[in-house]
Chain A
Amino acid sequence: MSIITAPDPTTSAVDLQRQGERPAVVKYLTHCFVLAKRSLIKTMRTPEALVDVTIQPVIFLGLFTYIFGGAIAHGSQTGYLQFLLPGIVGQTIAMASISLGSNLNSDIEKGVFDRFRALPIGRSAPLVGAVMADVVRYLILLIITLGVGMIMGFRIHTSVGAALGGIGLALGFALCFVWVSVFIGMKARTSGAVTGITMLIVMPLSFGSNVFVPTNTMPGWLQDFVKVNPLSHLVGAIRALFTGGAWGTDVLWTLAWMAVLLLVFAPLAVRAYRKRV
């Protein structure tokens, strides 16, 4: 069998030269979208990889509402759900960031990224594309958590605008926070190590926060940590935007944290990616 069944591949019906005219920014964004689409195709082909944004938030909602809720809120499980749901959104966003770093790490080990690095595209495009695709996972997370929460009795007491603002803030925060996981994904040797290390960061952040209980129930030294914890500010902001209360300070703190996370960890991640052999 000869595998040469057509004229050779150096001649082609496609004119490869004609495309070089668009501005560099447009090309870069196009490359990011193409790479985001690749990630999405992979996600859709392995739906079991969505467990952390579908089943996990539901388990936490049920667990804390029905098992711990009665004790925490002195019998009022529905009342506790009002408090808990915005917290679960924050917690699962942090947990769901783990998989991206771990996936990127195994992608690099498999050699797929060698192909990208050998192409004349922006060095950061493969990472930015992967983060862009993660938006879909966070959207699924928000829809599932809010949907199941509503079935369980959660109600939004503010306006549609405020609720959408809360959802937007959550998505934005997720896309900044995930760079921590991407950075670890570039640095760690194996994808298992990525999961382990990121978990070590996510666990204290999600439990040392106002996710499950109000800050003023904790000892003073812990309150100091909880009050600077970015997740506390995110959850505080979402809580106010969903169920009422003053949201201004928390939203500002959240936006500030988003800027810090993005400006520190995105460049670090890209640098680590470029250095990785």
Chain B
Amino acid sequence: MTATIEAAGLRKRFGTTQALDGVDLYAEQGTVLGVLGPNGAGKTTAVRVLATLLQADSGTATIAGYDVAKQPQKVRETVGLTGQYASVDEDLTGTENLVMIGQLLNLSGAQARVRAKELLAWFDLTEAAGRPAKKYSGGMRRRLDLAASLVGRPSVIFLDEPTTGLDPAKREDMWDVVRNLVTEGSTVLLTTQYLEEADALADKITVIDHGRVIANDTADGLKRVIGGHRIKVRPTDPEQLGRVATLLTRIGTGEPEATGRNTLTVPVTDETVLPVVVGQLADAGIGVTELSLHLPTLDEVFLTLTGKATDDEEVAA
């Protein structure tokens, strides 16, 4: 497989802020690369460099073999971009927005209208097609923005936080759209703050923090990197927590940690210890309301990789 998105050593400084501090990204054709990080990590800056909206101070990047610095027009012909803030023209109707983009991509007026109609139907916006975009709901605006980025049938699509601010049901819809695009062979770069979203969509996940890549792997690979399985126990009677802790200390490979209300989690060697735990809990007469064996969640991955929980204290990039 060849790289469709490839960036090496991207650096970009804004004043005193080093937004990108040597970022490498890589995605093969027909895959989803999830770029995960908190606000201010440099995700948007990276996307803007790859979409030719911004020049990196140093480093190289190619999209479908085209150099973003040297062949920007070729890159722009290849890429569809959906920004963090839905960049549709509010005063124009859905149809007018899409027809305009089509004509800017050198479609004739008639062809641009056909294409607009197709996309509006695909994104369930046919009824709203004649209304100015400022009358759209947040979800509709996102869909129109995504539709606008697909007018030219780009083979590479950048989605910069496509579901930020959407309610969960709308988020699932957006996920379906992304999955569908990939099925058709498009390559998607998706930035997100939602660990859950990267887990659900991405073939590979690159975790960025303070302009640096701190991990790059599959979701499962990431989970393995920071340790094996964990067992989580919540006794029915909170009074029993002490006894549960003693029991888990004997079985686990580390100290049990309190993870939520009356819940203890301990890392274990492998999944075979689960029946042992169940047996010992039964022997000790401790009833449980929750007992689970799981890989670390991506939230826990981030905590381990950065030494701190995901935070929002940084300025958005």
Contact = CB atoms under 8 A, between A and B. Distances in A.
Of residues A8, A15, A20, which shows the largest number of chain B Cβ atoms within 10 Å of its Cβ? A8
Given A6-B122, A110-B87, A16 B184 contact: no
Contact of B114 (A14, A30, A121): A14
B153 A10 contact: yes
B110 to A, nearest CB: 9
A119 interface: yes
B57 interface: no
Interface of B: 14, 48, 51-54, 73-74, 76-77, 79, 81, 83, 85-92, 96, 100-108, 111-112, 114-115, 118-119, 121-124, 132, 143, 147-148, 150, 152-153, 169, 173, 176-177, 180-181, 183-186
Contact of B176 (A4, A6, A117): A4
A38 interface: yes
Interface string A1-36: 111111111111111100110100001001100110
A271 interface: no
Contacts of A12: 114-115, 118, 153
B76 A118 contact: yes
A112 B88 contact: yes
Given A3-B173, A3-B177, A4-B177, A14 B104 contact: no
Given A16-B153, A119-B105, A4 B185 contact: no
Contacts of A20: 106
A4 B108 CA distance: 26
Contacts of B73: 120
Given A8-B122, A9-B119, A115 B81 contact: yes
Interface of A: 1-16, 19-20, 22, 27, 30-31, 34-35, 37-38, 41-42, 45-46, 110-112, 114-121, 277
A9 B83 contact: no
B35 to A, nearest CB: 17
Contacts of B186: 10
A8 B107 contact: no
A112 B88 CA distance: 6
B79 A118 contact: yes
A8 to B, nearest CB: 5
A4 B73 CA distance: 31
A111 B85 contact: yes
B85 A9 contact: no
A9 B87 contact: no
Contact of A9 (B101, B132, B153): B153
A9 B100 contact: no
